[in-house]
Amino acid sequence: MSRYDKMKYRRCGNSGVLLPAISLGLWHNFGTDAPYSNCREMLLGSFDLGITHFDLANNYGPLPGSAEETFGRVLAADLKHHRDELFISSKAGYDMWDGPHGEWGSKKHMISSLDQSLKRMGLDYVDLFYHHRPDPDTPLDETIDALEQALRSGKALYVGISNYNPDQTKAMLEACKRRGVRLLIHQMNYSMFQRSAEDTISVLGDVGSIAYCPLAQGLLTDRYLKGIPDDSRAGTKGTYLQKDNITEDRLAKISALNEIAKARGQSLAQMALVWVLQKVDSALIGASRFSQIEENVKALDHVEFSAEELAAIGKVL
Ligand code: NDP
């Protein structure tokens, strides 16, 4: 079976872009501390499952920038003949270098960051360039200048935003429309445990959507049902998922959701992914090993929910 028969592709908003229903992000487990062989296995294995969209950002690592370097290394060694099949994104906006323009949404930050990202990945262009977070101090028009320049210069084929709340999203969409700049997509934190993004989705109109942390960084899996493994994200120091995020109340919800998933013949991770796909175009997962990606892609074998299942999930949440 070809990789393209194994995946479902979904239109991103009303654009010509077709995203895999499951995309892979390189926020964790692709930095300098990650074994290269595991990174390579996850990337090539994902591509063989039809995952064509890989999501990066300037600062992913650790060290910041190293995930882009790892990705560039695999791309050069193994995937260079497949460049046109891949949809590669990067972002600028979080702190990346010292001094006044090392973060946020100035044109100076955004364009310099994009140039650095292209160099680290060994690319002439990214498919998608995001403003990673709203900037309260830079005029929106300047950030749009930067996105527009990325498009006009050919360094990005499409542009998007991330982490803008509904009001910020509306303001950005209006300003982009006035300027004739087309936003492809909004990338937002969305999962059964993080539902505030539904308000953002409701203002998107024709703009596409992709859910990051759809597994709530691993909480919406069976990973923590029997304690906190040392090799898990919550068991690792310096991550954004800490042991004290795993409360008794959380665990009770995870166990209850796990039972609902079992009854529909899925793992909790699989059910959590198809649940977000009811509202977004793609679910942007992370992984620490290829077997997780394999399991997650199998979620697409069963995407429908009965009214009873949705009610049971709603009750738990
Ligand atoms: P997820 O919610 O998918 O969490 C991924 C983690 O869940 C894995 O590292 C693994 O944890 C665990 N996991 C995944 N599959 C399974 C499975 N089948 N069984 C058991 N455990 C599983 O997403 P991430 O938090 O990793 O974020 C995904 C991507 O979203 C990022 O790489 C990035 O591209 C993007 N992102 C964007 C942000 C933004 O501001 N725009 C912010 C954050 C993320 P373990 O390591 O413990 O094995």
Give 76-114 pLDDT, tens digit per residue: 999 999 999 999 999 999 999 999 999 999 999 999 999
Mean pLDDT of 261-268: 98
Atom of ligand 1 nearest to the CA of 219: 7
The alpha carbon of 292 and the centre of ligand 1 are apart by a number of angstroms equal to: 10
Report pLDDT digits (tens) over 272-294: 999 999 999 999 999 999 999 99
Atom of ligand 1 nearest to the CA of 191: 2
CA distances from 316 to 254, 256, 279 (A): 9, 7, 19
Instruction: Name the 3-class secondary structure at 178.
Output: helix
CATH 3.20.20.100 fits 3-218+276-303, yes or no: yes
Q: Give domain limits for the chain.
A: 3-218+276-303
- Residue having the nearest C-alpha atom to atom 38 of ligand 1: 212
Report pLDDT digits (tens) over 14-29: 999 999 999 999 999 9
Atom of ligand 1 nearest to the CA of 236: 47
Between 245 and 171, name the one with better pLDDT: 171
The alpha carbon of 28 and the centre of ligand 1 are apart by a number of angstroms equal to: 7
pLDDT for 98 equals 98
Single-letter amino acid code for the residue at 18: L
Query: Cβ neighbours of residue 78 under 8 Å, at least 6 residues apart?
Result: 40, 43, 44
Report pLDDT digits (tens) over 33-79: 999 999 999 999 999 999 999 999 999 999 999 999 999 999 999 99
Report pLDDT digits (tens) over 166-194: 999 999 999 999 999 999 999 999 999 99
The alpha carbon of 218 and the centre of ligand 1 are apart by a number of angstroms equal to: 6
Q: Assess contact for 120 and 69: CB atoms under 8 A.
A: yes
233 within ligand 1 shell (Cβ under 6 A)? yes
- From 223, 230, 295, the mutation candidate for ligand 1 (largest count of ligand atoms within 8 A of CB) is 223
Atom of ligand 1 nearest to the CA of 215: 2
pLDDT for 1 equals 85
The alpha carbon of 24 and the centre of ligand 1 are apart by a number of angstroms equal to: 9
Angle in degrees, 0-180, between the axes of helices 66-74 and 107-121, rounded to the nearest 10:
40
| Alpha-carbon dihedral 287, 289, 291, 295, rounded to 10 degrees | -10
The alpha carbon of 285 and the centre of ligand 1 are apart by a number of angstroms equal to: 5
**DSSP assignment letter at 75:** I
